Amino acid sequence: MSLSTQIMDSMKEAMRAKDTVALEALRAIKSEILLAQTASGSKEEISEADEIKILQKLVKMRKDSYEIFTAQNRADLAEPELAQIAVIEKFLPAQLSEAEVEAIVAKIIAETDASGIAAMGKVMGLASAQIGGQAEGKTISTIVKKLLV
């Protein structure tokens, strides 16, 4: 089942349950997917990798908003952001732990015989391709820096 179909089914459920927070998050996902489809100039489905990137972007936006709202002592605005993150993360693949990401990055470094910070771009490219949507880019970057220094 495609992500668009899953989103539509979840939207129907949220409407029936009158869950406004979930509905808002689902509408944001649907909107971003439609924008990505029209940006390419066709009505074709976007790839699964692009869908994962969209979902990760939406989660990151909400995490940033949550941090800003908590810094400003606005719990009334911060709580819905956390709830929306939970809704969006249901559609993401299971995330790897830092230890699992570190093991994958260490293996890539050993295979490519990379050393020094100059090899970071090469290692990041390979790690991002291999890990896909299972970890945030920031986490991967931090681990690569730690292991290459």
Q: By three-state DSSP, how is residue 2 classified? A: coil
Does the pLDDT value for residue 42 go beyond 70?
no
The rounded distance, in Å, linking the Cα atoms of 74 and 85 is 17
Report pTM: 0.77
What average pLDDT does the segment 74-86 reach?
94
Q: What is the pLDDT of residue 26?
A: 95
What average pLDDT does the segment 96-123 reach?
85
Q: What is the pLDDT of residue 43?
A: 64
| Sign of torsion over alpha carbons 131, 137, 138, 144 | positive
- Residue whose structure tokens are 């605005």: 77
Contacts of 124 (CB under 8 A, 6+ apart): 140, 141, 144
Contacts of 112 (CB under 8 A, 6+ apart): 119, 122, 123, 126
Q: Which of 144, 114, 112 is nearest to 128 (CA)?
A: 144
The rounded distance, in Å, linking the Cα atoms of 24 and 123 is 37
What average pLDDT does the segment 82-111 reach?
89
What average pLDDT does the segment 37-66 reach?
85
The DSSP output letter for 135 is S
The pLDDT confidence band at residue 47, using thresholds 50, 70 and 90, is: confident
